[in-house]
Amino acid sequence: MHYHIDEPLFTTIKQDASQLRPQSGSLYISGTSVEERSLHTTKWEANCPDVVFAHLQAQDRAVASLLIGDTLTTFRLRSAKEINAFLSNQHYIAVYLDVTGLPHHVWAPLLRALRSRSEPAYVVYIEPGEYRFSSAPTEATIFDLSESIEGIGPLPGFVSLSDDMPDEALFVPLLGFEGPRFRFILETVQPKRSNICPVIGVPGFRPEYPFYTYLGNRLQLEETKAWQNVRFAAANCPFSIYQLLQELAREHYSRRLKIALIGTKPHALGAVLYYLDHQSTTELVYDYPVRKAKRTTGISRACIYDLSLMPPIRIDRGERFG
């Protein structure tokens, strides 16, 4: 089986998130975060009696618990076997993974398992209505988004062996509004300045958002001169990021890609999808930010990403079937 990442119909966008309806006989996995948009399913769940809903109840960096009805299922996030056992508990027509209210270290292992399976899989992401402006804004902190940074660590099941010359890797930070996160990762990773290739979400969720991204990261972009290497990919499209990473890998074929997940969840989703297909030449960098309550308000569009046209991978080797 062959596919092209730029084929149409990989993404469906609904202007009103309440219009979202999973297929009858499907499994819908979601979680609740500090943001209002993560609660969108509560408005229409009762109208989907033939859908099985699994809600994240508890999680840390190692273990997650999902509640289906009155049954609580717990699995280790590094165990593909345990996650697949959960997904195989009964036959589902399709599986929906709603990443809106799930932290990266929970949805990424679930996505990894889904990519190794044969049933249709969809990822759902709800765009926020508004980001919360900081009460004391500075150039680097326009929006009030994160309390702190716990520190760089691998996502469960995504440990990569570093190459012998890490300064020769192509460092690809997927930028958001938070300049302090970009600075922290730069100081920790210490990439070679000429090998930094930032990505900004263009178009953004709103027309003005790319300008906020430039402003929030201006100091780091100027200090490293990385502004000269900026690339663009639609802020709500994981497949645009996937395609861009393919292009960068071709242009820098002798280097590993080291991708920092700082920006939008759709960009992080695209990076994880790319990693799963190219594990031997790719590394993910994540800083585990602690999100602020009410960092966003309101609910905007619903994005449904169809992974069904992408051939499954062999999770033990990072290879695609077909």
Domain extents for the chain?
Answer: 11-130+299-310, 146-293
DSSP string for 101-162: TS-HHHHHHHHHHHTTSSS-EEEEEEEEEEEPBPSS--SS-SB--EEEE----PPTT---PP
Share the mean pLDDT of the chain: 87
Q: Which of 160, 150, 156 is nearest to 59 (CA)?
A: 156
* Through-space distance between the first and last CA atoms of the chain, rounded to whole angstroms: 5
Residue 250 is predicted with a pLDDT of: 95
Mean pLDDT is lowest, of 98-102, 133-137, 171-175, for: 133-137
Q: How far is it, in rounded angstroms, from Cα 167 to Cα 215?
A: 27
Per-residue tokens: 35: 């943001």
pLDDT in tens, 2-57: 445 444 458 999 998 888 999 999 999 999 887 788 888 888 888 999 999 999 99
Q: Does residue 275 sit in helix, strand or coil? A: helix
CATH assignment, 146-293: 3.40.50
Please determine whether the domains at 11-130+299-310 and 146-293 fall in the same fold group of CATH: yes
Residue 214 is predicted with a pLDDT of: 94
Mean pLDDT is lowest, of 35-39, 76-80, 161-165, 309-313, for: 161-165
pLDDT in tens, 287-314: 998 877 777 888 889 999 999 877 666 5
Residue 181 CB neighbour total at 10 angstroms? 25
Q: Is the peptide bond before 203 cis (omega within 30 degrees of 0)?
A: yes
Fold of 11-130+299-310: Rossmann fold (3.40.50)
Q: Which of 277, 275, 270, 289 is nearest to 180 (CA)?
A: 289
